[in-house]
Amino acid sequence: MHSAEVNRAAIGVVRKPHGIKGGLKVTLYSIDLDMLQNLEQLFVNTGSEWRQLTLRNCQGYDDFAILSFNEISDRTEADMYRDRELYTVREDLPTLNDDEYYIDDLIDCEVVDENDKCLGKVVEIISPGAHDVLLIQQGESETLVPLVDEWVVNIDIDGRRIQVNSAEEVE
């Protein structure tokens, strides 16, 4: 989620510890390893405070990365970061083209269907595997929409609005 006081942007989520020396298995969002290695500041919200982390090493695989940080030295400490998002200062991220966005930019966007009916707001981006999924909430109701061209018609980051197809339109 956004961290307004410093304008941080989420770049990935820690899945679980890796190895005995404090490595973290991480699913990266909109960045690759080359971009990650150039980031000077990474942060984790521990629930009570923001903790700054210094990247020591990273290795990439098909759909995840193994990251090691100077501040995390063993598996027990690494386990405290399970399911926590990693952030960086937004200004440290490369400038994007007009048709590009960072996953974190989708949080709090209004979602409408092809008839402009409001479906709610994006509250979370889920990364279950093949593609990301928007978790949309309106009141007590939650809807999942795959973040793929077949479902998502238009993303207007400046307007904070996403237009999606309904299930009938996709079939």
Read off the pTM. Answer: 0.71
> Within its chain, how far is the Cα of 41 from the centroid?
16
Nearest to 102 by CA among 80, 87, 115, 113: 87
Q: What is the pLDDT of residue 97?
A: 80
SS3 category, 90: helix
What are the tens digits of pLDDT across the range 37-71? Answer: 888 789 998 888 999 999 999 998 767 899 999 99
What are the tens digits of pLDDT across the range 81-124? Answer: 999 999 998 888 888 787 788 888 899 999 999 999 999 999 98
Residue by residue, DSSP assigns 99-150 as T---GGGGTT-EEE-TT--EEEEEEEEE--SSS-EEEEEETTEEEEEE-STT
Name the DSSP letter for residue 3.
Answer: B
Domains of the chain, CATH where assigned = 8-92 (2.40.30.60), 103-166 (2.30.30.240)
CB-based burial, 114-151: b 16+ in 10 Å, e otherwise:
eeeeebbbbeebebeeeebbbbbeeeeeeeebbbeeeb
